[in-house]
Amino acid sequence: MASSGQYLIDYAGGASFATSGTSASASLPANSELIRVSCTAACRFRTGIGATTALATDALLTSGDALIVRIPAGHNTVAAIQDSAAGNFNAVRVFED
pTM of the predicted structure, to 2 decimals? 0.90
| Residue 2 reports pLDDT greater than 70 | no
Q: What are the pLDDT digits (tens) for 39-59? A: 999 999 999 999 999 999 999
The residue ranges of every structural domain in the chain are: 7-96
Superfamily of domain 7-96: Jelly Rolls (2.60.120.10)
CA separation for the pair 82, 69 (Å, rounded): 19
Q: What are the pLDDT digits (tens) for 3-31? A: 557 899 888 878 999 999 999 999 998 88
Cα torsion angle, 20, 26, 29, 31, sign: positive
Beta strands 34-39; 77-82: pairing state: unpaired
Q: What are the pLDDT digits (tens) for 58-81? A: 999 999 899 999 999 999 999 999
CA separation for the pair 41, 84 (Å, rounded): 8
